[in-house]
Amino acid sequence: MKTRYTLACCVALGGIAAAQQPRAFPQPTPEKQVTVSAIAGVIAAGAQWTLVWQGADNADGLVGTSDGGILFAQEQPSTVGRLDANDRFSIAERNTRGTGALGIDHRGRLIGAERTCSDPGGKPDECKEDANLTALSPTRQVIASRFGGKPFWRMGEVQLDSRGGAYFSDENGTYFVNPSGTVSLVADKSVRTNGMMLSRDEKTLYLTNGRTIVAFDVQADGTTGNQRDFAALKGGNGDGMCIDGEGRLYVSAGDAGFEVFSAQGAHLGVIPLPRSASSCAFSGPDKKVLYGKGGGMNGPDGRNFTTPPGVRNNAKAIYKIDTIAQGYLGRAK
């Protein structure tokens, strides 16, 4: 009896203690020194990353701009940050409803994938705002808001084609919206899409799915079929992607950096980033500068910035590096 009572007591107290524990959010990996090895036609041995921005207010969905700078989404403050070609920072857009990914379409419109109030570090269970795919500038316009009668929730990524269509994802699947506003399903949530990219001829759509990159054939109307495995990452799970003028894919793979694949799916090498990589974009003069975003930043004391227990660390750092390769000129992304 005494043993059973003691056990019950401890289980009850343990449950109370667990309920009072703050949520466990991992801190980002500290910045590290990296050595870049040569990848033929891509990057020279010994190329150096330059830190161009860091901040506690997040950065995601990098996209190059025509003036050689980049735009990036800042979900928590609902802003879009801009770095010009000289690394000067400014706010490009405000009140973006938690936009977390960006694209620039064939008409020059800035498109954002919304996450509204669904931040895991906030109170997502209390969030009642549906997520939309929205044109942020030059005028605000909702592009896609529902599929199958249901609203979207916490959008992940967006990729725009050159004909007015858009591929995007949320926590329930990956979708395509045509220029008329009709939404179709690309893949259900069995494909855990974090990053997406179109081939140069826009006949293939690539999605990350954990450590696998899957490919789909794109039909003339933008819809997709023939899902298949394209390549396997050797480092961490795949996230953001970018593409160069030769059709090579650059896939962020966490602490490993950016893994580079040929247009045929051959693994060509890795470009390590000083922080855990999650987004990339080509920009700069002649689009021969690779921008890479990693998790975390250094505080004023030069040490890795950390947050108190239970507080999600949204700090990010953006770096750039000169490349031999030239980013694809046919689209912004």
Contact by Cβ (8 Å): 24, 312:
no
Q: How far apart are CA 23 and CA 6, in angstroms?
A: 28
**The token pair that represents 39 in the structure block:** 């990848």
* Beta bridge partner(s), residue 321: 290
Name all contacts of 260-264 with Cβ < 8 Å and 24+ positions apart.
260/39, 260/42, 261/213, 261/230, 261/231, 263/199
* Beta bridge partner(s), residue 228: 215
Altogether, the residues listed in the chain come to a count of 333
* DSSP calls for 63-74: EE-TTS-EEEEE
Report the Cα–Cα distance between both ends of the chain, in Å, rounded.
68
Place of tokens 């808001």: 145
Q: Spell out the per-residue pLDDT of the chain, length 333, in tens.
A: 333 333 333 333 344 344 456 788 999 999 999 999 999 999 999 999 999 999 999 999 999 999 999 999 999 999 999 999 999 999 999 999 999 999 999 999 999 999 999 999 999 999 999 999 999 999 999 999 999 999 999 999 999 999 999 999 999 999 999 999 999 999 999 999 999 999 999 999 999 999 999 999 999 999 999 999 999 999 999 999 999 999 999 999 999 999 999 999 999 999 999 999 999 999 999 999 999 999 999 999 999 999 999 999 999 999 999 999 999 999 999
Kindly state the helix (H) or strand (E) to which residue 6 belongs, with its residue range: helix 2-20
**The token pair that represents 97 in the structure block:** 């409803």
Cis-peptide into 138, omega within 30 deg: yes
pLDDT at 20: 55
Distances (CA, A) of 143 to 140, 160, 172: 10, 12, 18
**The token pair that represents 128 in the structure block:** 């009642």
pLDDT at 23: 83
**The token pair that represents 34 in the structure block:** 């990296």
Diameter over CA atoms, the chain: 78
Handedness of CA 200, 202, 238, 59 (dihedral sign): positive
Angle at alpha carbon of residue 284, lines to 283 and 286, rounded to 5°: 90
Domains and CATH numbers, the chain: 26-322 (2.120.10.30)
DSSP 245: T
At residue 183, what are phi and psi to the nearest 5 degrees? -105, 135
Contact by Cβ (8 Å): 266, 248:
no
Q: Which of 245, 267, 247 is nearest to 256 (CA)?
A: 267
pTM: 0.93
pLDDT in tens, 296-315: 999 999 999 999 999 999 99
Q: How far apart are CA 84 and CA 291, in angstroms?
A: 12
